[in-house]
Amino acid sequence: MPENNNAPRTFVSSAQDKAGKLDVASLVLLAVLMAAGFVLNITVGKALAITGIQPEFVISAYCLAILILRPSLPQSVLIGVLAATVIQLTTSVPGLEYLCDIPGGAIMFLFAQAVARRGSAGVLPLAGAFVTTTVSGLIFATVATVVVLGAAPSSVVAMLPVVFGTALANCVIVQVLYLPLKKAAKR
């Protein structure tokens, strides 16, 4: 006869156990971050556009998702594809975001791996979001200016303040939100 043990069953899971695994809770967090990024883009982002610096909240959202969830490289790239798909609803150049956010997902993956190796984040979320947004912005500015508008490559220089301003805004957002969201997600 089986032994009647009334002790509660427990399962202890660490953030290390969850790395590279996108379970339902991870997908819900990703969806919430993407939705929040989209809503902030069409409200706050558009309001801030008059300053010339428009945070790209969807990029901030996928940077946070990759840092918190620590997906694999293919999953990080897929998160970049999902972000680009969300941005399609508001972008000025449809399709271009895919060229920007696929490498962005891969870059953020490298920073998430660095956070995992160090065991603490420090300023890596800030640096990762800055580099990711800068690369994404430079790709967007270059392709939009040279290919879509047919302007001279030197015209991209005029876009640099917007690219770096957006990167600065995004990196501050990611750095400020990383630890509270990580704790809330129990990662």
Convert the chain into a string of H (helix), E (strand) and C (coil).
CCCCCCCCCCCCCCHHHHCCCCCHHHHHHHHHHHHHHHHHHHHHHHHHHHHCCCCCHHHHHHHHHHHHHCCCHHHHHHHHHHHHHHHCCCCCCCCHHHHHHHHHHHHHHHHHHHHHHHCCCCCHHHHHHHHHHHHHHHHHHHHHHHHHCCCCHHHHHHHHHHHHHHHHHHHHHHHHHHHHHHHHCCC
Angle of helix 73-87 relative to helix 96-118, nearest 10 degrees, comes to 140
Q: Which CATH number is 18-184 given?
A: 1.10.1760
Residue 179, token pair as written in the block: 């630890």
Q: Does the CA dihedral 49-51-53-55 come out positive or negative?
A: negative
* Range scoring the smallest mean pLDDT among 20-24, 58-62, 134-138: 20-24
Q: Decide if pLDDT at 3 tops 60.
A: no
* pLDDT band (50, 70, 90) for residue 176: very high
For 55-92, the pLDDT digits (tens) are: 789 999 999 999 999 999 999 999 999 999 999 988 88
Q: What pTM was estimated for this model as a whole?
A: 0.84
* pLDDT band (50, 70, 90) for residue 18: low
For 110-133, the pLDDT digits (tens) are: 999 999 998 778 899 999 999 999
Q: Which residues contact 34 (CB under 8 A, 6 or more apart)?
A: 58, 61, 62, 65, 82, 83, 86
Q: What is the pLDDT of residue 187?
A: 75
Other CB atoms within a 10 A radius of the CB of residue 142 amount to: 17
* pLDDT band (50, 70, 90) for residue 100: very high
Q: What is the pLDDT of residue 25?
A: 87
Domain ranges in the chain are 18-184
Whether the Cβ atoms of residue 71 and residue 20 lie closer than 8 Å to each other:
yes
Residue 55, token pair as written in the block: 């945070």
